[in-house]
């Protein structure tokens, strides 16, 4: 009987780990195959499917990801030449800002390019980009926490924001002041 109980626990742990991987959106580079497979499922099927209740482990993992969804902006001295010669691209910027997989960096660029065209709500953005809801949500959250995009209220359209550049200017001013006070 104890062996049966242990095997049930192992099966539950494996199922929980699979759920964590499937819902995480930011955890691995194999999303290309997942997203390709999910393209076969229509958005109508997704909307009509029952939502699985998150287990404690999944909820903790998801909350950890949400708390870590922000920019780690790297300043690379070699980028100065790219900037001076107008060769610095949005990809370089996203690469320096987020430690996402290649697939998620490309999706992030698509999000920013759509928002550059104008405001759009999350659901319309998801449909337009044919993105997994959980993946897109984590990307949008990271972009919001980094000050690149803004959503004034829940269910309001997303739009580009100047907060990122404003924050960088404040960091730059602080650094300049710290050097003078030295």
88-116: pLDDT as tens digits: 999 999 988 888 889 999 999 999 999 99
DSSP 3-20: HHHHHHHHHHHHHHHHHH
Cβ proximity of 120 and 158 under 8 Å = yes
pLDDT-wise least confident of 28-37, 42-51, 77-86, 93-102: 28-37
pLDDT-wise least confident of 75-79, 108-112, 157-161: 75-79
State the residue for tokens 């999350």: 122
Q: Which of the listed residues 12, 40, 61 is the one where a domain comes to its end?
A: 61
Q: Tell me whether residue 137 is in a domain.
A: yes
Give the DSSP letter of residue 130.
T
Q: Tell me whether residue 89 is in a domain.
A: no
Q: Tell me whether residue 75 is in a domain.
A: no
Q: Is the confidence at residue 48, as pLDDT, over 90?
A: no
Q: Tell me whether residue 110 is in a domain.
A: yes
Report the C-alpha gap between 88 and 81 in whole angstroms. 8
Specify the number of domains making up the chain.
2
Q: Tell me whether residue 36 is in a domain.
A: no
Q: Tell me whether residue 152 is in a domain.
A: yes
Cβ proximity of 134 and 25 under 8 Å = yes
Q: Tell me whether residue 116 is in a domain.
A: yes
Provide the domain limits for residue 17: 1-25+55-61
Q: Tell me whether residue 34 is in a domain.
A: no
Cβ proximity of 129 and 136 under 8 Å = yes
Cβ proximity of 149 and 115 under 8 Å = yes
Give the domain CATH number at 119.
1.10.10.10
Q: Which of the listed residues 43, 61, 79 is the one where a domain comes to its end?
A: 61
Q: Which residues contact 87 (CB under 8 A, 6 or more apart)?
A: 81
């Amino acid at each position: 009987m104890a062996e049966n109980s242990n095997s049930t626990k192992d099966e539950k742990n494996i199922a929980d780990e699979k759920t964590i991987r499937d819902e995480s959106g930011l955890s691995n580079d194999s999303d290309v195959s997942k997203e390709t497979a999910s393209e076969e499922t229509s958005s109508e099927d997704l909307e009509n499917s029952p939502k699985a209740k998150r287990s404690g482990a999944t909820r903790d993992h998801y909350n950890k990801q949400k708390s870590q969804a922000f920019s780690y902006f790297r300043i690379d001295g070699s980028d100065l030449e790219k900037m001076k010669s107008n060769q610095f691209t949005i990809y370089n910027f996203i690469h320096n800002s987020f430690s996402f997989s290649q697939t998620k960096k490309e999706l992030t660029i698509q999000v920013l390019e759509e928002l550059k065209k104008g405001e759009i709500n999350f659901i319309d953005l998801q449909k337009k980009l044919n993105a997994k809801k959980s993946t897109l949500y984590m990307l949008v959250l990271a972009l919001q926490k980094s000050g690149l995009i803004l959503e004034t209220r829940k269910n309001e359209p997303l739009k580009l924001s100047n907060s990122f550049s404003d924050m960088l200017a404040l960091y730059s001013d602080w650094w300049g002041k710290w050097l003078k006070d030295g």
